[in-house]
Homo-oligomer: A and B are copies of this chain.
């Protein structure tokens, strides 16, 4: 019966937690030294364990990179799922989705920033990662397009705008420090608000469409305070 206990939910859970810790250490190394510059030995040293102990949980550096990307996209898709569950305007859902992704990526440092290029992953794993990343980008583009269609966002190229958003978001890994002066939650809120705000139609823009002469008094009223 001991074997059955070994296979219990508790053990699987411990296994999962250890794998997460490995991904965090690996992402840290990849971000610092690049994928090609990092060895399994570096990741083991970062964790203070032996290489043999590491190989109990992961098969190879390639698998670790793959799991980093999967973990990152899990967070992205979970952010979208939560945003859709909350409901609201396209802007509110976009903000919720980006905010969740940023906060989780920063706090858990699981988001692997290493860019995928030929030679890093086997063609099969590469295709899987690109497919999920494309799905995530596509969902964000649809949210932007929905906001444009509803008139809440200004007309734009959703593909370019989502690239700008993801650049800002992915870059967080490069400068964020858990010991820094700004909490992950505050970064997430500021970024989400700023990135959505750049799309939102303004009061004066709306007015100009129904009557251009309205602009002058409004600007004057606000500007001379």
Contacts and interface: CB of A to CB of B under 8 A. Distances in A.
Interface residues of A, number: 57
A186 B166 CA distance: 18
Contacts of A82: none
A198 B153 CA distance: 12
Q: How many copies of the shown chain assemble into the complex?
A: 2
A48 interface: no
A185 B44 CA distance: 45
Given A36-B36, A170-B167, A221 B210 contact: yes
Interface string A212-225: 00010011011101
Interface string A26-40: 000001111111000
A190 B37 contact: no
Contacts of A160: 182, 186-187, 190-191
Contacts of A164: 168, 171, 190-191, 194-195
A73 interface: no
Contacts of A121: none
Contacts of A174: 115, 167
A202 interface: yes
The 9 A-B pairs of least Cβ separation, nearest first, read: A36-B37, A167-B171, A34-B34, A206-B222, A203-B204, A203-B203, A198-B198, A202-B202, A167-B168
30 contacts: A31-B115, A32-B118, A33-B119, A34-B34, A34-B35, A34-B36, A151-B223, A151-B225, A156-B190, A160-B187, A160-B190, A161-B194, A163-B175, A164-B168, A164-B171, A165-B168, A167-B167, A167-B174, A168-B171, A194-B199, A195-B198, A197-B198, A200-B202, A202-B202, A202-B204, A203-B207, A203-B218, A206-B221, A209-B225, A210-B225
